[in-house]
Amino acid sequence: MTTAVLMAVILGLLYIGSSDQPESDSVQIPISLKIDAPTPSGVPDSQAYPEAPSLWREVTVAAGDNLSTIFSDTGLSSLDLHQIMQLGQNVQVLKKIIPGRKLLFDISSRGELNALKYELGPLESLLITKSDNGFAANNLTYKPKVFQTFRSATITGNRPSLYESGKYSGLSDSILMELSYVFQWDISFALDLRQGDSYSLLYEENFLDGVKVRDGEILSAQFNNMGKTYSAVVYQSENGERNYYTPDGKSMRKAFIRDPVHFSRVSSSFNLKRLHPIHKRVMPHRGIDYVADRGTPIVASGDGKVSIARQNGASGKYIVIQHGEQYTTKYMHLWKFARGIRAGKRIKQGQLIGYVGSSGWATAPHLHYEFLLNGVHRNPRTVKLPQAEPISDSERERFLEQTAGYVERLHGLSRPPELALTGE
Ligand SMILES: [Zn+2]
């Protein structure tokens, strides 16, 4: 082979390398790695994908987009789209693609669609691949790596709410929401947080390829509220139900939750305001007020039966719920009742019954909530309530076995306080 021929061959190779397969060697983009690892379930080995490095093009769905416009903008064939849409149940999600989600296209150097991936969630995608037999659709699920994380936080003058203190310590909205539900029977997050209250929790975080995709569940938590300490651990019973218990096996669930309005909706300056000039002059104030925007959902604090749902001059639209023989709760100044709420209706704890308003003698939107025991007004936050159901004797050993580690870790990490990983 002469030098000239050799040069021509080399140049030819360079030419091929630079024009026919642009960047095909260097573009081992992370997107293709995401598909390879971790191994997607539900895809037969024969369809292992991708076989060769390829160039994925990413499109984020914008408002008003549909797959047809995206295909034409991307220069893809409408015949391909038509064939893809014939693939049955799996591809129904493509009829209404959701703004903000990602579509990934693997397009050959000749402009043909090799594959299409649509993200269904952080741990799930729809993958459409082309073979000699045409297109095929598969749902891919990814198994995240789960880590246990410990954090703690303190209520301070600058961060007086669960939300503000939690965000400062790096807790997500979803974990804070869950924490408020774990302790909703014991603590009023709307009314009873005080400076110096503190909490710590052990919870799960899910990672995929080193990137956090979402929080898991709270495994154990401890809350010091106004001098009392409440602790909870998660337990999965033999029949698969997951619930929270005290470390010695009493259910966290009780007959009444503390706040019929979620703390996240209650005005934080609430404690400084007393909004009942009319009330106060006319009668002693025997209820609790939750200042919140008109339309804020109100839930029943316990299981029961609606005995009254009507309107009068002072209370406005109001609901009375009878809980067994002894307990009664009242909800006043509502904007409106929830659908189907009327006298005689059976109600579950936490069920939506109406919306905050300012009907009757009220100067601004708020819920006036009353709690009565044997017809006498009581403070629902101090009244003694029936003991919660403990774990059954038959499951006790299993419970202790499963939860001991959570409590130990929580205590090990939270004591002494200067060793806490986060918080103050
Ligand atoms: Zn009131």
CATH code of residue 183 = 3.10.450.350
Of the two residues 207 and 53, the one the predictor is more confident about is 207
Gap from CA of 279 to ligand 1 centroid (Å): 7
> Is residue 22 pLDDT above 90, yes or no?
no
Tell me the C-alpha distance between 113 and 192, whole Å: 59
What is the arithmetic mean of pLDDT over 74-92?
Answer: 92
Share of the chain above pLDDT 70, in %: 80
Query: Which tokens in the block code for residue 155?
Result: 């209520």
The pLDDT score that the predictor gives to residue 98 is 92
Q: Would 200 be classed as within a structural domain?
A: yes
The pLDDT score that the predictor gives to residue 329 is 96
The pLDDT score that the predictor gives to residue 288 is 87
> Is residue 73 pLDDT above 80, yes or no?
yes
> Is residue 9 pLDDT above 90, yes or no?
no
> Is residue 420 pLDDT above 50, yes or no?
no
Of the two residues 127 and 418, the one the predictor is more confident about is 127
Same domain, 273 and 372: yes
Same domain, 212 and 171: yes
Same domain, 76 and 110: yes
Q: Are 187 and 400 in contact (CB under 8 A)?
A: no
Same domain, 226 and 159: yes
Same domain, 339 and 393: no
> Is residue 140 pLDDT above 80, yes or no?
yes
The pLDDT score that the predictor gives to residue 414 is 65
Tell me the C-alpha distance between 161 and 403, whole Å: 29
Of the two residues 145 and 270, the one the predictor is more confident about is 145
> Is residue 56 pLDDT above 80, yes or no?
yes
Query: Which tokens in the block code for residue 352?
Result: 């939506």
Domain at 312, CATH number:
2.70.70.10
Q: Which of 34-43, 53-62, 132-141, 398-407 has the lowest mean pLDDT?
A: 34-43
Same domain, 235 and 249: yes
Of the two residues 74 and 235, the one the predictor is more confident about is 235
Query: Which tokens in the block code for residue 110?
Result: 């000749």
Q: Are 336 and 355 in contact (CB under 8 A)?
A: yes
Gap from CA of 287 to ligand 1 centroid (Å): 6
What is the arithmetic mean of pLDDT over 81-99?
Answer: 92
pLDDT in tens, 172-193: 999 999 999 999 999 999 888 8
Gap from CA of 261 to ligand 1 centroid (Å): 14
Radius of gyration of the chain (CA): 30
Of the two residues 15 and 127, the one the predictor is more confident about is 127
Same domain, 413 and 371: no
Q: Would 166 be classed as within a structural domain?
A: yes
The pLDDT score that the predictor gives to residue 278 is 44
Q: Are 21 and 109 in contact (CB under 8 A)?
A: yes
Longest dimension (CA), the chain: 111
Q: Would 394 be classed as within a structural domain?
A: yes
Same domain, 320 and 245: no
Q: Which of 23-32, 41-50, 256-265 has the lowest mean pLDDT?
A: 23-32
User: How many Cβ atoms sit within 10 Å of the Cβ of residue 14?
Assistant: 10
Same domain, 193 and 92: no
Residue at which a domain ends, from 120, 141, 162: 141
Q: What is the DSSP letter of 287?
A: S
β-strand partners of 130: 135
Nearest residue to 71 via CA among 4, 124, 118: 118
> Is residue 422 pLDDT above 60, yes or no?
no
Residue at which a domain ends, from 141, 170, 190: 141
> Is residue 104 pLDDT above 50, yes or no?
yes
Q: Are 224 and 162 in contact (CB under 8 A)?
A: no
The pLDDT score that the predictor gives to residue 415 is 55
Q: How many CA atoms lie within 13 A of 241 on its CB side?
A: 7
> Is residue 1 pLDDT above 80, yes or no?
no
Cis, peptide link before residue 416, omega less than 30° from 0: yes
The pLDDT score that the predictor gives to residue 111 is 86
What is the arithmetic mean of pLDDT over 361-380?
Answer: 90
Q: Which of 35-39, 65-69, 273-277, 385-389 has the lowest mean pLDDT?
A: 35-39
Same domain, 89 and 163: no
Gap from CA of 368 to ligand 1 centroid (Å): 4
Q: Would 317 be classed as within a structural domain?
A: yes
The angle subtended at Cα 108 by Cα 104 and Cα 113, nearest 5°, is 55
Q: Would 233 be classed as within a structural domain?
A: yes
Dump the DSSP string for 334-383: EEEEPTT--TT-EE-TT-EEEEEB--SS-SSSEEEEEEEETTEE--TTTS
Gap from CA of 367 to ligand 1 centroid (Å): 7
> Is residue 145 pLDDT above 60, yes or no?
yes
Same domain, 284 and 373: yes
Q: What backbone phi and psi angles, to 5 degrees, belong to 179?
A: -60, -40
Q: Are 200 and 221 in contact (CB under 8 A)?
A: yes
Tell me the C-alpha distance between 415 and 421, whole Å: 11
Gap from CA of 289 to ligand 1 centroid (Å): 5
Q: State how many domains the chain has.
A: 3
Which of the listed ranges 37-41, 168-172, 213-217 does the model predict with the highest average pLDDT? 168-172
The angle subtended at Cα 399 by Cα 397 and Cα 400, nearest 5°, is 70
What is the arithmetic mean of pLDDT over 63-83?
Answer: 91
Same domain, 334 and 408: no
Dihedral sign, Cα of residue 297, residue 303, residue 309, residue 311: negative
> Is residue 408 pLDDT above 80, yes or no?
yes
Place of tokens 């934080």: 268
Query: Which tokens in the block code for residue 143?
Result: 């198994």
pLDDT in tens, 337-352: 999 999 999 999 999 9
Q: Would 207 be classed as within a structural domain?
A: yes
Q: Would 241 be classed as within a structural domain?
A: yes
Nearest residue to 202 via CA among 263, 247, 249: 247
Gap from CA of 192 to ligand 1 centroid (Å): 17
Q: Would 16 be classed as within a structural domain?
A: no
Share of the chain above pLDDT 90, in %: 62
Q: Which of 33-37, 61-65, 224-228 has the lowest mean pLDDT?
A: 33-37
Q: Are 390 and 130 in contact (CB under 8 A)?
A: no
Residue at which a domain ends, from 141, 163, 194: 141
Gap from CA of 160 to ligand 1 centroid (Å): 23
| Residue-averaged pLDDT of the chain | 82
Gap from CA of 285 to ligand 1 centroid (Å): 6
Of the two residues 243 and 276, the one the predictor is more confident about is 243
What is the arithmetic mean of pLDDT over 272-301?
Answer: 69
> Is residue 324 pLDDT above 80, yes or no?
yes
Gap from CA of 325 to ligand 1 centroid (Å): 25
Q: Which amino acid is at 182?
A: V
Q: Which domain holds residue 136?
A: 27-141
